[in-house]
Chains A and B, each alone.
Chain A
Amino acid sequence: DTGVSQNPRHKITKRGQNVTFRCDPISEHNRLYWYRQTLGQGPEFLTYFQNEAQLEKSRLLSDRFSAERPKGSFSTLEIQRTEQGDSAMYLCASSRRDSLLGTDTQYFGPGTRLTVL
């Protein structure tokens, strides 16, 4: 299967602990996105990488959040000193711009569901 994969699928942690999630994008995709989704809402943009460069960060991404994509392939999202409000589904998506059509279609992974107790 060559889709986007995310690990772990579920994470339960105590408030104040650090957590790290991993995303492996579709191999030929150079763009990678992180989103957060809570109940009843659509995915909310967190950050975006083109290759290894982090080009954009949402103001939702507080200083407790950090994301990396060291070799332009897989990416990690770390949350330090987790809070109960961080409980959500964290989604990763990847894409490659269609130079002919000028469009960019994102393909999502299954998500990591974080529960902070």
Chain B
Amino acid sequence: DQQVKQNSPSLSVQEGRISILNCDYTNSMFDYFLWYKKYPAEGPTFLISISSIKDKNEDGRFTVFLNKSAKHLSLHIVPSQPGDSAVYFCAASYGQNFVFGPGTRLSVLP
């Protein structure tokens, strides 16, 4: 029972272009969504979040979009940089319940 899905295990993007990472969820109780970035041998690092009362949140090169009716969110990175190469996890929560997706490995090619 995978409540949070990231259907693309990997994504390759050219430096300077846009990276779009997608995430789908099934539980309508989720009201807060987060993206984390993880480098090898490190713990996940919080990147950006969005509450269910919003449909967009922006922080520098990172923008998260939420479509509640479709139960879908996406992370846009513009422009992509080689240092963005990492595994990106989507997480959905309500209260103290957090569920993580399986991750998408982003490779930004110079």
Chain A contact residues, CB within 8 Å of chain B: 4, 6, 31, 33, 35, 40-45, 48, 50, 55-56, 91, 93, 101-111, 113
Contacts and interface: CB of A to CB of B under 8 A. Distances in A.
B102 A41 contact: yes
B90 to A, nearest CB: 8
Given A33-B98, A42-B102, A102-B51, 4 more contacts: A43-B89, A50-B96, A103-B32, A103-B51
Contacts of B91: 42, 106
B93 interface: yes
Interface string B2-33: 00100001000000000000000000000010
Contact of B96 (A31, A44, A107, A111): A31
A109 B43 contact: yes
Interface SS of chain A: helix, strand, loop or mixed? strand
Interface SS of chain B: helix, strand, loop or mixed? strand
A81 to B, nearest CB: 27
A31 B96 CA distance: 9
Contacts of A45: 97-99
Given A41-B102, A42-B89, A43-B89, A104 B43 contact: no
Please indicate which of the listed interface residues A6, A91, A103 has the most CB atoms of chain B within 10 Å of its own CB: A103
Please indicate which of the listed interface residues B32, B44, B100 has the most CB atoms of chain A within 10 Å of its own CB: B44
B98 A106 contact: yes
A33 B41 CA distance: 19
Contacts of A93: 43
Contact of A42 (B45, B46, B51, B101): B101
A4 B43 contact: yes
Contact of A108 (B43, B96, B102): B43
